[in-house]
């Protein structure tokens, strides 16, 4: 759906600017046409209620296309770049979760939480390149760490990173198909688009008393048990939820 909205925004903006250039060539200077196209595409994307993070994509897309055309690259270079992007940002175009990496401060804070909780089994839902799972498994050999990641390239990078960590498992496929009942500490750094659905899954599957920690995005309508503010570059907030406290 998001991909369709993005295509509509880009194409309508392109058609509008092309028409304006033909109808009023004296008013609209051709050299400003890419900037107008980008601005109109961004505006249309907002009108179609796309998430905010699509804005820079709309602003940069057409200028980037023109720049790439000016480089006169061979066709296979575009195919290779497209494939690479698909392997890294698997599923992102469908409107859910892009790849951003947590800072070392997040991994350190989760370590403190795991120690305090006396956690036995931890999972990172959407583990990326194991920026959290690998340091956690390395510093807590007694903790069973699972890194669940569905995008092929990050999954392979996570596997490589965890290859010597016997207490770490890197699992492919979607975390929506994964049973969370066997974990007492669950972590996610995802996107607001999936948090409500995730809340329902946590409520169904996690055991009472276990802990869910979300980086940056709170669970809508859930009372937060604790909020941790980190002094990293993103000023990350960790929202902690004790399962079973929701209605208590
Ligand atoms: C924002 S990144 C966070 C990466 C890592 N957890 C960290 O904190 O550094 C989100 C990751 O979730 C992955 N992801 C999104 N939806 C997923 C799903 N349904 N199943 C497994 N992984 C998913 C994306 O591919 C991406 O790598």
Q: Say what the pLDDT of residue 50 is.
A: 86
Name which residue sits closest to atom 27 of ligand 1, judged by CA. 128
Q: Tokens standing for 54?
A: 């699509």
Quote the CA–CA distance of 56 and 152 in Å, as a whole number. 25
Question: Do residues 103 and 124 make contact, with C-beta atoms less than 8 angstroms apart?
Answer: no
Quote the CA–CA distance of 227 and 208 in Å, as a whole number. 19
Q: What tens-digit pLDDT sequence spans the chain (248 residues)?
A: 777 889 999 999 999 999 988 888 777 777 888 898 999 999 999 999 887 888 899 999 888 888 888 888 887 887 888 788 777 776 665 556 677 899 999 999 999 999 999 999 999 999 999 999 999 999 999 999 999 999 888 999 999 999 999 999 999 999 999 999 999 999 999 988 899 999 999 999 999 999 999 999 999 999 999 999 999 988 999 999 999 876 54
Question: Do residues 89 and 154 make contact, with C-beta atoms less than 8 angstroms apart?
Answer: no
Q: Say what the pLDDT of residue 136 is.
A: 97
Task: Give me ligand 1 centre to Cα 88, in Å.
Answer: 10
Q: Say what the pLDDT of residue 248 is.
A: 45
Q: 158 CB under 6 A from ligand 1?
A: no
Q: Which atom of ligand 1 is nearest to the CA of 215?
A: 8
Quote the CA–CA distance of 209 and 222 in Å, as a whole number. 15
Kindly list the domain boundaries of the chain, sorted by start residue.
Answer: 2-72, 104-242
Q: Say what the pLDDT of residue 96 is.
A: 62
Name which residue sits closest to atom 2 of ligand 1, judged by CA. 99
Pairing of β 144-148 and β 121-125: parallel
Quote the CA–CA distance of 110 and 116 in Å, as a whole number. 10
Quote the CA–CA distance of 185 and 209 in Å, as a whole number. 10
| Candidate from 106, 126, 148, 180 with most ligand 1 atoms within 8 A of CB, to mutate | 126
> How many helices (H) does the chain have, and how many strands (E)?
8, 7
Q: Say what the pLDDT of residue 64 is.
A: 87
Please state which CATH number belongs to domain 104-242.
Answer: 3.40.50.150
Quote the CA–CA distance of 212 and 207 in Å, as a whole number. 11
Q: Please give the DSSP secondary-structure letter assigned to residue 146.
A: E
């Amino acid at each position: 759906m998001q991909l369709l909205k993005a295509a509509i925004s880009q194409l309508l903006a392109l058609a509008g600017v092309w028409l304006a250039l033909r109808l009023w060539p004296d008013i609209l200077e051709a050299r400003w046409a890419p900037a107008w196209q980008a601005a109109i595409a961004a505006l249309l994307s907002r009108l179609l209620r796309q998430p905010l993070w699509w804005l820079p994509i709309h602003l940069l897309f057409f200028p980037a296309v023109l720049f790439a055309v000016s480089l006169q690259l061979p066709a296979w270079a575009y195919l290779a770049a497209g494939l690479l992007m698909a392997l890294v940002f698997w599923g992102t175009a469908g409107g859910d979760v892009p790849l951003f990496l947590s800072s070392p401060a997040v991994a350190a804070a989760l370590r403190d939480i795991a120690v305090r909780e006396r956690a036995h089994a931890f999972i990172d839902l959407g583990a990326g390149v194991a920026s959290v799972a690998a340091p956690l498994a390395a510093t807590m050999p007694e903790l069973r760490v699972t890194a669940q990641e569905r995008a092929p390239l990050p999954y392979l990078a996570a596997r490589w990173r965890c290859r010597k960590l016997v207490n770490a498992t890197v699992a492919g496929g979607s975390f929506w198909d994964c049973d969370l009942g066997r974990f007492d500490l669950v972590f996610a750094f995802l996107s607001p688009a999936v948090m409500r659905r995730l809340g329902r899954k946590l409520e169904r599957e996690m055991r009472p008393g276990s802990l869910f920690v979300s980086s940056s995005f709170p669970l809508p309508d859930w009372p937060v048990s604790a909020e941790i503010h980190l002094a990293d570059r993103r000023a990350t907030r960790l929202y902690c939820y004790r399962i079973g406290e929701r209605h208590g």
